[in-house]
Amino acid sequence: MNPSYIPNGLSAWGDPPLITGPQVLTNPLLNKGTAFSEHERDVLGLRGLLPPRVFTIEEQLQRTLNSVRRKQDNIEKYIYLTNLQNRNEVLFYRLVIDHIEEMVPLIYTPTVGQACLEYGSIYRRPRGMFISLRERGRIAEILRHWPQPGVRLIVVTDGERILGLGDLGALGMGIPVGKLSLYTACAGVHPGYCLPITLDVGTDNATLQDGEAYIGLKEKRARGAVYDEFVDEFVRAVKEVFPKALLQWEDFGNSNAFRLLGKYRKSLPSFNDDIQGTASVALAGVLAALRLTQSTLAQQKILFLGAGEAGTGIADLYCAAAMAGGMSEADARSHCWFVDSKGLLVKGRGDKLPSHKEPYAHDHPFVATLTEAVHALKPTALIGVSGQAQTFTQEIVTAMAKYNARPIIFALSNPTSKAECTAEQVYGWSEGRAIYASGSPFPAVTLNGQVHVPGQGNNIYIFPGVGLGALASEATEVTDAMFLSAAQTLASLVEPSDLAVGRVYPPLTKIRDVSLQIATAVADSAHRLGLARAARPADIEADIRGRMFEPTYHDYL
C-alpha cells in the first residue's frame, strides 16, 4: 500500500487530509513537480510520470521567474501564475514571497481587475466555490462539497462592487481568490484552510447579461428579502459546516456592505476589509505622518473627498482612536469633515443621508466644492477616497501647503488612473512639504535634490495580519479595537529611515514580519477582551510564528 501524507504545515491547525501515492502530482499542496527526488519517485510510484532530470527548488524558481518575465503583458503573467498556483502551491508562494514587490501587482491589484473582467474566458480550473440563488435551501450541503476539511478562512463577495469596476457578478471571483493568496503570501495562513466564495445573486450589468462568455446567472441582481434570506442562509451554513471559520466580506455594494457588517459581526467572526481594513491602513499612515508633523491625533482636522465605505470607515476609526485617547464622541466626530458628490456634508443639506454619513453632517454653511471647503475649514489632512481622478488640483494642494507646514495629503483612490493627484504633482505643488500616500503605487520623486518616496496605503499591510491574529486566538469577534491596535502596530513599524524620505508605510519586503506583529497585537487584544476561544499561549508571537506556512517542500522519506 502507498504511504499517506499530510500536506506540509497543515497539522499545525488540525484536520489534516491524507493523500496517497501518485495523487501527490495532482494535489497542488503536495506536488513538487520536477523536484521529486529519485528516492521519492520510487517510493511514491512516480517513475515514468515525470521527466527524468531532478531539479532543486532554486532551479525551479529561476525557471518560473524567467517564464513570468518573458510574458508580454500582465494578464498573461496572471494566467501563468494562476496555473502555477493550481499545479504547485509551494513553488507559487516561494516565488511570490521572494519577489513580493514584483508579484503582488500581478496576483492582485491592479492586474486582478483585468483578470475579473476576463474571468469568463481565462477560467480553466475551479478555484473556490460559486453559490448561486439556485442553491437556496441547500447551501450547507453545497459547502460540504469543498474537498478540504476544516476551513478556517473564507473571503466572500457578491460581485456587486468589484474594485472600481462596478457590478461584475460572478466574475468577481478573482477578488476572493486573490485576497486569499495574499493571506498566505503575506501572513502565512495555510492555503489548505482558505476558501474563496462568490455568491451569485445575478447582475445588473447588462453587458454581462448579454455576453456569451458570462459564467454566472443571467438574471437581474436579487435585492430585498430574497437577497437577505439568501445571505442569512449562507451565514448559518458557514457556522454549521465550518464552525471555526473567520469570514471576510469583500467588495459588496455600498447599500449591503454596512448593513451586512452590522448585522453579522457579532454572531460570526467577520469583518469588511473595504471598510475596516482601509480604515486601519489609512489611520496607520496618519499616525506615522504625525511623527513628521510632530502633532497629535487630537490636533487634526481631516477633510475627506468621498463619503463611502472607505471614507466613513476611516473617520469612524479615527474617532475610535480619539475616544480611546479621552475625547468625547461628539468632539471626535467634529474633527472629520466630508465632501461627497453633492458638496460639503452639513446639517440640513436637503438630501436624505444614509446612516453612515449622518454623524458627520455638522453645523456649518454649505459649500459646493472641495476647493471652497479647503479654504473654509483649513484642514490639516486631506484624504481622497472618491474614485475621482485629478480632483486634488494645484489650487487645493497649494492651499493645503499654505495652511500647514507639512500637509497630510492621501490620494487613496484606485487604480492609478483614479488617484486624486499623483506623487509628482503633490510634491511639486507643495514645495516638497506634503506628506503623501496613495492607494496605487507611484515611483519616488526627486525635487531639488531631495528624494520623496510615496507610501502606498495598501490594505495588504492590515488584513492578513488581522485575519491571522483572529484565527490564532479563535476570536469570536473582530472588533474595532483590533483594527485600531493593527493601525498602531503598523505605524510603529515605520522606521526613521522611512520617515526621512517621507514614506509613512514600511517597505512591502517586510510584510511577513509586519503581519506577524499585527497578528500578535490582535490575538493579544482578543485574549485581553475575553473574545478568544483558544487558550492563551505563553508567548503569542512565537505561537503564531510557528503556525505560519513556509513554502518549503515536504520531505517524503
Q: Which residues have a catalytic role annotated?
A: 108, 179
List the one residue out of 545, 463, 460, 446 whose CA is nearest residue 506.
Answer: 460
Binding range to ligand NAD, per CB under 6 A, among 132-140, 183-191, 304-312, 528-536: 304-312
The beta strands (E) that lie in 443-488 are given as 445-447, 450-452, 455-456
Residue 303 in 3-state DSSP?
A: strand
Contact mark string toward ligand NAD, 273..292, x via CB under 6 A? -x---x--x-----------
Cα gap 269→520, rounded to integer Å: 17
Q: Which long-range contacts (CB under 8 A, 24 or more apart) does 39-48 make?
A: 39/557, 40/556, 40/557, 43/3, 43/556, 43/557, 44/2, 44/556, 45/2, 45/21, 46/22
Q: At closest approach, how far in Å is the CB of 524 from ligand NAD?
A: 25
Edge-first strand order for the sheet with 194-200 is 129-132, 194-200, 153-157, 246-249, 270-272
Which of 308, 469, 502, 551 touches ligand NAD by CB under 6 A? 308
Under the binding rule (CB under 6 A), the answer on residue 111 touching ligand NAD is: no
Which of 388, 393, 398, 476 touches ligand NAD by CB under 6 A? 388
Under the binding rule (CB under 6 A), the answer on residue 489 touching ligand NAD is: no
Alpha carbon dihedral 508, 155, 109, 315, in 10-degree steps, equals: -80
Nearer to ligand NAD, 362 or 554 (CB): 362
Nearer to ligand NAD, 203 or 386 (CB): 386
Q: At closest approach, how far in Å is the CB of 211 from ligand NAD?
A: 24
Comparing every residue's Cβ against ligand NAD, the nearest one is 308
Binding range to ligand NAD, per CB under 6 A, among 199-207, 239-247, 317-325, 335-343: 335-343
Residue 277 makes CB contacts below 8 A (sequence gap 6+) with 271, 459, 462, 463, 466, 483
Under the binding rule (CB under 6 A), the answer on residue 457 touching ligand NAD is: yes
Binding range to ligand NAD, per CB under 6 A, among 202-210, 338-346, 372-380, 540-548: 338-346
Q: At closest approach, how far in Å is the CB of 387 from ligand NAD?
A: 4
Q: Are 491 and 503 in contact (CB under 8 A)?
A: no
Q: At closest approach, how far in Å is the CB of 509 from ligand NAD?
A: 19
Q: Are 536 and 527 in contact (CB under 8 A)?
A: yes
Under the binding rule (CB under 6 A), the answer on residue 305 touching ligand NAD is: yes
Residue 124 makes CB contacts below 8 A (sequence gap 6+) with 82, 83, 86
Residue 343 in 3-state DSSP?
A: strand
Nearer to ligand NAD, 439 or 465 (CB): 439
Q: At what angle do helices 480-492 and 309-324 cross, to 10 degrees?
A: 80
Under the binding rule (CB under 6 A), the answer on residue 413 touching ligand NAD is: yes
Residue listed under C-alpha cell 474617532: 319
Which of 256, 459, 488, 525 touches ligand NAD by CB under 6 A? 459
Under the binding rule (CB under 6 A), the answer on residue 464 touching ligand NAD is: no
The count of residues interacting with ligand NAD (CB under 6 A) is: 27
Which of 157, 386, 425, 479 touches ligand NAD by CB under 6 A? 386
Which of 404, 458, 489, 517 touches ligand NAD by CB under 6 A? 458
Cα gap 495→492, rounded to integer Å: 8
Under the binding rule (CB under 6 A), the answer on residue 159 touching ligand NAD is: no
List the one residue out of 106, 189, 207 whose CA is nearest residue 153.
Answer: 189
Residues near ligand NAD, by CB under 6 A: 164, 254, 274, 278, 281, 305-311, 339-341, 385-388, 412-414, 418, 439, 457-459
